[in-house]
């Protein structure tokens, strides 16, 4: 992960997060606790949500537009707080920009691989599951672990449309967890950043201690790496939110994980379909 420093006071430049909507706030929440002095940007690509149902070509286009946007805003590091784009686009895009990029899957899999877990279940979006990114990354460090991967196609919309406690949503969570339990996993990775919003429902069907939110490891990895590279800021000055549609809905949907105090700015990239 090499990067070129083209600005004088780079430490003051923001760290930037993106995801398809409010999911990445589950990561930003943890990063801010460890790195409160960092200026930060957050881009929620609400217009193109859910990413998990998009093609590789579409995801490459969305991620590239957002990375270019962050370049124009002088980001010193970008946090791919989205499993789907980390799985599908990171390898193809990683050398194209002038900042450090932290992809969630590639960052946390070494930790999962060395955790001593024997049977691991990964729940994620269809695109992440089809890529087998988790099992491929973990097997680089540990070939013994048994991994069961399952997609939960509707869960992201449940969160974005604030339908978490509706009977139909609870049923859709239950159906997936019944499949998961057939595998008798030791631990279950919530491999989509939206899923921690569902914890109150998830824990009805499996013990809360069984779930792993990879953001727990990810935030520490980001802190350690920014520290090692002398990129830390000493004083927080600003945070800014951007979305590609419906700013008010973003504020509503985010409440469980982040206090978005100001309405996000609406951004439209001309070529997005
Ligand atoms: N929250 C993202 C992830 O971690 C994307 C979810 C989606 O939009 O499908 O995969």
Q: What is the pLDDT of residues 228-258, one digit of tens each?
A: 999 999 999 999 999 999 999 999 999 999 9
Using DSSP's 3-state secondary structure scheme, residue 122 falls into: strand
What are the structural domains, with CATH classification, of the chain?
Answer: 10-103+217-266 (3.40.50.1860), 107-214 (3.40.50.1860)
- Whether 197 is in the pocket of ligand 1, judged by its Cβ within 6 Å, is no
pLDDT of residue 8: 57
Helix (H) or strand (E) holding 133: helix 133-141
Mean pLDDT of 153-181: 97
CA of 210 to the centre of ligand 1 (A): 21
Using DSSP's 3-state secondary structure scheme, residue 120 falls into: strand
Q: Output the six-digit token pair for 49.
A: 């949500």
pLDDT at 4 over 80: no
- Whether 213 is in the pocket of ligand 1, judged by its Cβ within 6 Å, is no
- Whether 156 is in the pocket of ligand 1, judged by its Cβ within 6 Å, is yes
Helix (H) or strand (E) holding 265: strand 265-266
Could you tell me the pLDDT band of residue 1, with boundaries at 50, 70 and 90? very low
Which ligand 1 atom is nearest residue 52's CA?
9
Mean pLDDT for all residues in the chain: 95
pLDDT at 9 over 50: yes
Could you tell me the pLDDT band of residue 270, with boundaries at 50, 70 and 90? confident
Mean pLDDT of 83-106: 97
Q: Output the six-digit token pair for 159.
A: 């969160």
pTM here is: 0.95
pLDDT of residue 272: 52
Could you tell me the pLDDT band of residue 118, with boundaries at 50, 70 and 90? very high
Could you tell me the pLDDT band of residue 227, with boundaries at 50, 70 and 90? very high
Q: Which residues are catalytic?
A: 82, 192
Q: Output the six-digit token pair for 184.
A: 């008798």
What whole-number distance in Å separates Cα of residue 273 and Cα of residue 271? 6
pLDDT tens by residue, 42-52: 999 999 999 99
pLDDT tens by residue, 53-82: 999 999 999 999 999 999 999 999 999 999
pLDDT at 271 over 80: no
How is residue 10 annotated by DSSP? G
């Amino acid at each position: 992960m090499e990067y070129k420093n083209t600005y004088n006071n780079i430490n003051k430049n923001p760290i930037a997060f993106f995801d398809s909507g409010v999911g990445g706030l589950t990561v930003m929440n943890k990063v801010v606790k460890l790195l409160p002095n960092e200026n930060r940007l957050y881009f929620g690509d609400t217009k193109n949500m859910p990413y998990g149902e998009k093609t590789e070509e579409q995801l490459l286009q969305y991620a590239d537009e957002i990375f270019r946007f962050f370049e124009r805003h002088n980001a010193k590091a970008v946090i791919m707080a989205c499993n789907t784009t980390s799985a599908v686009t990171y390898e193809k895009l990683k050398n194209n920009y002038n900042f450090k990029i932290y992809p969630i899957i590639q960052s946390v899999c070494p930790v999962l691989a060395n955790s001593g877990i024997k049977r691991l279940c990964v729940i994620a979006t269809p695109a992440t599951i089809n890529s087998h990114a988790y099992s491929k990354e973990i097997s680089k460090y540990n070939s013994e672990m048994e991994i069961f991967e399952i997609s939960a196609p509707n869960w992201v919309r449940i969160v974005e449309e604030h339908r978490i406690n509706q009977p139909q949503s609870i049923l859709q969570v239950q159906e997936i967890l019944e499949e998961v339990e057939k595998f008798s996993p030791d631990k279950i990775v919530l491999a989509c950043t939206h899923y921690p919003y569902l914890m109150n429902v998830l824990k009805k069907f499996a013990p809360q201690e069984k779930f792993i939110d990879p953001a727990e490891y990810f935030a520490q990895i980001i802190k350690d790496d920014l520290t090692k590279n002398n990129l830390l800021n000493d004083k927080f000055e600003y945070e800014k939110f951007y979305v590609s549609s419906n700013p008010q809905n973003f504020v509503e949907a985010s409440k469980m994980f982040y206090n978005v105090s100001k309405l996000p700015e609406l951004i439209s990239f001309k070529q997005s379909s």
